[in-house]
Every structure is written in C-alpha cells, then in structure tokens.
Structure 1
Amino acid sequence: MRLKNLSLALCAISSFTLSSWLYADAQLVSGDIVLGVNDEGHLNVTDIMGVTINAGSTGLTYTSVGDATSPGCLCEGWGVSAVNGGPHTGWASVSNGGISNISFDSFVSDATTATSNVHMTDLPGLLVKHEFMPFAGAPGNAYQASVTISNTTGMALSDVRYARMMDWDVPPTEFSEFVTILGSDAANVLSTSDDGFAVPDPTAIPLFDIAADPCGVDSDFVKCGPDDHGAAFVFGFGDLADGESVSFDIFYGAGEDEAEATGVLGEIGAEVVSLGYSSIFDEDLGESVPNTDSPVFFFAFSEVGGEIIFPDPTPDPIPTPEPGSLGVLALGCLGLGLFRRRRYQ
C-alpha cells in the first residue's frame, strides 16, 4: 500500500497563506484528501479553494478525480437523540433536514484540523464534539473524526443514539455508483441502509432501501448498484449517567484503487464500513460493473462494538459478485464483535 506524504498545499491553492484557513467552516487538506467541514460537524462546504473539480462544494474530495459527497445533493450529515423525561432529537445536514434542535458552541480550525462543539437546543446538557484530523496511519488517504457525546444535564440519559448519513456521488460516474456496506451486525449498530438521502434522525429506524434493485436493510451487501444511493448508519450507546461520555471514531478517505482503499481500512481497524465505487461499462458482460482500478472512497467507523473487517493491512480485494448474486451474498465471517465502547467519567 502506498501512503502519501502529508501536504498542506496543492497547486490550485498555492496562493493561500495560513491565515486564509482560519474561517468559519473549513476545507482541510492532507495529501490527496480534502475534507469540507461545517461549523456543526457535518460535511459539504463551499469550495472557496477551487480544488473540487466536479462540484462547487467540498465534502470528501480525492484530488485526482473530484468530490464523492457534494455533487447533486449536499446530503452528508449527523444526528443525536436521547431520552430525558421524553425523547429529544436533533441533527445537522445542509440539504437533508438542515439544522434542527442543534445549537452552535464553537468551531476552531487550521490547515489540517477542525473541532466542532454543539449542544442539543432543548436539552442543553447533551454535548457533541467532532474532532477532525488526518488519520496518523495514512495521513494522505484518510481523515479521522473523533466523536464524543457527553451528558452534563444533571440527570441520567437513556437510549443515547447517533446517526450518520451520506449520499455517495463517486466521480466520474457521480449518480451511478456501486456501494458496499459491511459490519451491520456490530453491537452498537441499530440500523443500516443505502439511503444517503435520509434525514439523520436517529429515532427514525429501521432505515429504508432506496436502490432500484434492493441492496438490503440492516444487513451487509457488496458492490450493490449501479444506482444513485449512499450509506446510512444509526448507532445505539445505551444509557449515560450524568457526567459520563461515550466516544467513537469516524473515518473518511479514498485510495487510488480498491487495494489501497481496503489497505487503509486495515490500518484503521475499521469495524463498520461503506465503500463507494464509480461504474464502468463491461463490453463482455454488456453491463456496468464496479471500477476497482480507479479511486475508491470509504466511510468507516471504529469503537462501535464490531469485529475488525480488514485485519490484514494488505487484504485481498473484495470479490465482485457475479451478476444477479448480490441479494444472496453470504458474509458469515463478519461475526458479532465484542462491545468496545469507550466511556469516561
């Protein structure tokens, strides 16, 4: 696997000084990856740098081909919910539901990192922090977002949940991609699907399948498509006592091909994964197939109670199912993992 050196400058933005990075919302650059982060911790911001060659906004950009979350719909977002005398829920997404019941506290960024702090508007003691940084194991291929949900309400919270959704638009076939989801049986996973257009409301489960040929809800699937779909996940973390927090990690990135992408996921120790592939027409089959030799994007989680999906740092590429076999693919090797939630007092 080729790991690229950390870079703070691209030819398209060479005229920017460090002070140009210090503004509300941020475009973070590490190697081939540019991540666009809003104040509230969701992706897809205006591309003021001109580095996203296939859209006017930046969500998750791989500089050689463009952005994989912003063309067509600024639909990447997150949500949180808890019960405290009654259900409370809020979310943040540019296009899917906007900002609902989430109040801004602070946002600090530099050239490569950003930290967002918010609280739930009608439950001010429920705090959510997103800390974005290059993943140390592969800084040129992946960003890590460490998420911490804290209870400072003065009383216990029950049924604490977190949702994260994204619409995959993988270049150069932005609205006709193949999508994989693995790790749906992780202990903290409540629901999964390919519905990247869903409002990130953690209480709205089970999720829905939106592909023309169904991919599957709450189950793993491999290279489903081609279609204009994405990835949606809802996690449950149980109860939080007053003064208690729960943390886990999200990863956004890409490799120059499938082998590099899955290699980086092995370095990450990913437990829940979505991969997004562009499509290419196979003359022999007479149909579109996943392009495993062009940049492959990923969206992954760790510390969510699952088994590591790619334990070998250099795993074999994911086999492409034969036509018509996607709906019956068995992935029994991905058994239920240990509950590895991190708690802090």
Structure 2
Amino acid sequence: MKFLKIVSAIALLGMAGASQASMIIADGNVALGVGDLGQLNVEGGNADIAGTTGVGLRYISDGVEYESTFHGCECEGWGVAAGGTSGFANNALGTAGLSLVSFDSTATTATSITTMGGLLQITHNFALAAETDHLFRVAVTIENISGADIANLLYRRTFDWDASPTPFNEFVTIGGTAGASAVLGANDNGFCSSNPLEICSPQAGNSGDFTAAGPDDIGSNFDFDFGALLTGETFTFEIFYGGAANRNAALSALASVGAEVYSFGWSGLDADQDGFGDANGEITPTFIFGFAGVGGTVIIDPDDPVDVPAPASLLLFATGFLALIARRKRYAKL
C-alpha cells in the first residue's frame, strides 16, 4: 500500500508542470498546491475521488486522493496588515498590495517571498513536518522593513472547507482559540476576504471554539494580532496543513508538532468522525489546518492522556520537587 501512495505522489508531481509560478508538493500521504504568493489551490493534479483535478490540500489513502479546498470556491488565502495598510492573496476573493520577490520549489518544498508596500517582507516556507507524515509545516516569517516601529502586526488566514468525498457538505471544528493570546477571532466563514482590515462575520453562526458544526458548506477564518514589531525585527509562527484517517489521528499529528490552534474539516457522512461514513462505510478522512507560536497551549495527544504540554510538565516537576524539599525539611526537624 505504501508503494501505491508513492506512485500517486509521483504522478501528482509529474502533472504539476515546469512552471515555477506555482507547484504541487507531496509526500506519500499529503499533497499541497502552492501558489506563488503563498496561497493554496493550483491546477494540474490527478482526479480525486469526487472528480476534481485542482489541488489545494489533499489526503492520499492507498492511492486514492481526497481533495479538501479546490472544489467550488478556491478561497484559501492569507493577508497581512500594519499601520492601516494591507496586502493579501486569495485566488477567488481577491489579491492586492503584495509584490512577489521570489518563488522556489522542489518535489516536497516551496518558498514564497513577498513584500507589502515597503513595510513588510513575508516568507512562507512550506516543508514536510519531520515529526509526522500527515502534515506540511509552513514557517511564516514577517520582517519589518519600513524603517519605523509597527504597533500592531495583523495576519489573517482564510480556508473554505470542501472535503471529499462530499464537497460542500462537511463538518467543521475549531479548537484552541480561547487560550491563544494572539487570536483576535475565529469563525466558520471560509468565504471572507483575506484582507485583515475587512470584517469577517460568521457564515453559519459559529465563532471561537466549536465542535462539529454542520454539516454545511462552511470553512474557517482566523485573525491574529502579533503585537508590536520594531524596525528591522522579524516575527515567526507556524501553519500546518494535512490529513489523517480520523479525529484522533489528526489530534495526534497536531500534538507531535506542538500545534496550539486548529480547524478540522471532514465529510458530512461521518458524524462521529471515526473516518468512515455512518451509513455505508465510505472513507472520510479528517483534513487539518493548524497553528503554532500564537500564544496558545500545545494540543495533547488523545491516545496518550498522560502526555502533558511542556509548560505544564515543567510546572508539575517544579511543584513535586518543592514538595519533596519541604517534606525533607520537616523530617529533619523531627
């Protein structure tokens, strides 16, 4: 079965073409179609189980491909803003304010460097996550090139879930936002402009953290405020894209890379998110969209309940150590 996954990934790469304006990058389980400005959704892949050949975010299982963003609206995109000026890239909902510096790619990596109005330089560096074969990691580095301090650095990422095998009819979960200090807001609207200066209201009434909204044609929009960025300084955070067989496998993948905030999208056929359609047993993967470095708490692996995120682990260790010292002092007085 692993052979089939590799063959499928090679086929995707072969169809991506020679153009460096965009690239389909893949491993055995996940493929991304990366545009030159760092947005997703690229023409030229294999037909997935629902028939689309465009590639945004795909999960590959035993040679069968499941697309999650290219059906219908190619709405995955991002934007950045500072001092009342913004730049954004979204195939369907508009691109403005960004200038391409360079786009480079290999079979498994892509790097987009853009600038926004002489204020910011933004690098999106896509590569396979070393910890799991279910995720691509995107290191996003934003540099203040303006010559003056920036009071508030804003970033938005917009994502319309259209999860195969039932695009336009999916469940969506958003988690981790309540405890993430950099999150300004999150909701179920994947059809918002990717401009951080425009208001994005919930599409079906779901905002903040919510579980299994739908089934409906909904998505996820995340707004971040990363605070001040002094002149010449850089700020880096991470985005994760991928897929897994079911909810627990998806959470395990996110836990392995230290993700703090996430969205899941999966077929409306699978209410319990176990990876199979409730009526006929169709394969219904969970698609993954996550963030790290946004001031939140690391997700805990559901299959390892004793696993505690690093800060909590240190706190438990320190508490236990201090208790041991106090106990020894008490015994010494007896």
TM-score range, shorter chain: 0.7 to 0.9
Aligned-residue offset at 1:263 = 1.1
Structure 2: gaps spanning 5 or more residues: 276-283, 313-334
1:242 equivalent in structure 2: 231
**In 1, Cα distance between equivalents of 2:294 and 2:76:** 20
Q: Per-residue deviation at 1:125?
A: 3.5
Residues 256-294 of structure 1 deviation map (CA, whole Å, 9 limit, x = unaligned): 12221111111122111101121227xxxxxxx354223
Find the partner of 2:129 among 114, 131, 135. Answer: 135
Structure 1 residue ranges without an equivalent (≥5): 282-288, 317-333, 338-345
State whether residues 9 and 29 of structure 1, in contact with CA within 8 Å, keep that contact through their aligned partners in structure 2.
no
RMSD: 2.5
Higher mean Cα deviation, 108-117 or 292-301? 292-301
Quick check: which has more Rg, 1 or 2? 2
Pairing 1:69-84 to 2, within 5 Å after superposition: 69-83=69-83
Say yes or no: does 1:208 pair with 2:201.
Answer: yes
Partners of 2:256 and 2:65 in 1: CA distance: 23
SS of the equivalent of 2:108 reads coil
Q: Which residue of 2 aligns with 1:108?
A: 104
Residue 253 of structure 2: aligned partner? 264
Query: 2:222 corresponds to which letter in structure 1?
Result: F
Q: Match of 1:312?
A: 301
Counterpart Cα distance in 1 of 2:232 and 2:142: 11
Which residue does the alignment assign to 1:144? Answer: 137
Higher helix share: 2
2:20 alignment partner AA: Y
Question: Could you say if the C-alpha distance between residues 247 and 14 of structure 1 is closer, same or farther in structure 2, counting changes exceeding 3 Å?
Answer: closer
Structure 1 counterpart of 2:219: 230
SS for the counterpart of 2:235 is strand
**Corresponding residue SS for 2:185:** strand
Change (3 A) 1:248 1:11: closer
1:33 to 30, 34, 51: 30
Asked whether the 8 Å contact 2:67–2:163 carries over to 1, the reply is yes
The answer for the alignment partner of 2:42 in structure 1 is: 45
Is contact 2:20–2:103 with CA below 8 Å preserved after alignment?
Answer: no
Give the 3 Å change call, closer, same or farther, for CA 269–51 of structure 1 in structure 2.
farther
The change in CA–CA distance for 1:15 and 1:148 in structure 2 (over 3 A counts) is closer
Residue pair 1:278, 1:290 contacting (<8 A) in 2 also: no
Aligned AA (2:123)? K
Distance in 2 of aligned mates of 1:224 and 1:315: 26
TM-score with structure 2 setting the length = 0.82
Whether 1:161 and 2:165 are equivalent positions in the alignment is no
Measure how far apart 1:22 and its partner are: 6.1
**Residue 156 of structure 1: CA displacement?**
1.1
1:276 aligned partner, one-letter code: G
Q: Distance in 2 between matches of 1:11 and 1:119?
A: 32
Q: Is the 1:255–1:296 Cα contact (8 Å) retained in structure 2?
A: yes
Quick one: which of 266, 272, 276 aligns to 1:277? 266
Per the normalisation by structure 1, the TM-score is: 0.79
**Aligned residues of 2:13 and 2:24 also touching (Cα < 8 A):** no
One-letter code aligned to 1:56: T
